[in-house]
Amino acid sequence: MAALASAPLVAGGLVVAGRPLAAAQPSPQEDERILNFALGLEHLQAAFYEDAVSRGALGGELAEFARVVGEQERRHVEVLRRRLGGAAIAEPDFDFGDTTAGEEAFREAAVTLEDNTVAAYIGQGANLTVEGVAAVAPLVSVEARHAAWIRDITAVNPAPAAADSAKSAEDVRSALERAGLPPP
């Protein structure tokens, strides 16, 4: 019984209390790094939806999704910029190519973008201080609803698993690049 109780401590490598031993310790500096990555993702999302709406290639619920979610992503940017103050990264320029030029490409890119944003927040949550978690927690729940909404529109199961996987910043960047999206 004792061996089973300690299994999570060593499964998959050196893990203590569900946290990789090599993971960064929560600190204000680590919060700044993580929140700036999140800000980059939020900038990417806001610009993606703005670009899609401005191109006028979306109709019906897809156009409504882009308008509504785009506005919410802009508000997420504001929340993170306020939290970071002078340490906030500048808004980057993005080139979305054809990902916002038509409905099919937009749907695929939007699913990837929303799913990976949720996975990024999950992946970094344990590395944040309590204050950092408090700053992003209200955003994560909305991001999850965005992911479910676009998955519903595209007829993809909005909740394919009982729990979402965490992703590292590099995994998120790679997934976005594979989908034709610029990394944050």
Q: What pLDDT sits at residue 24? A: 65
CATH entry, 25-178, from 3.30.70.260, 3.90.180.10, 1.20.1260.10, 2.30.30.220: 1.20.1260.10
Cβ neighbourhood burial of 74 (10 Å; 0-12, 13-18, 19+): middle
Q: Where are the alpha helices (DSSP H) in 26-184?
A: 28-55, 60-84, 103-125, 130-153, 169-178
What is the domain partition of the chain in residue ranges? 25-178
pTM: 0.85
Is the Cβ–Cβ distance between 33 and 89 less than 8 Å? no
The sign of the CA dihedral 31, 36, 37, 41 is positive
The tens-digit pLDDT sequence of the chain (184 residues) is: 333 343 333 333 333 344 443 456 899 999 999 999 999 999 999 999 999 999 999 999 999 999 999 999 999 999 999 999 999 999 999 999 999 999 999 999 999 999 999 999 999 999 999 999 999 999 999 999 999 999 999 999 998 889 988 999 999 999 999 999 998 8
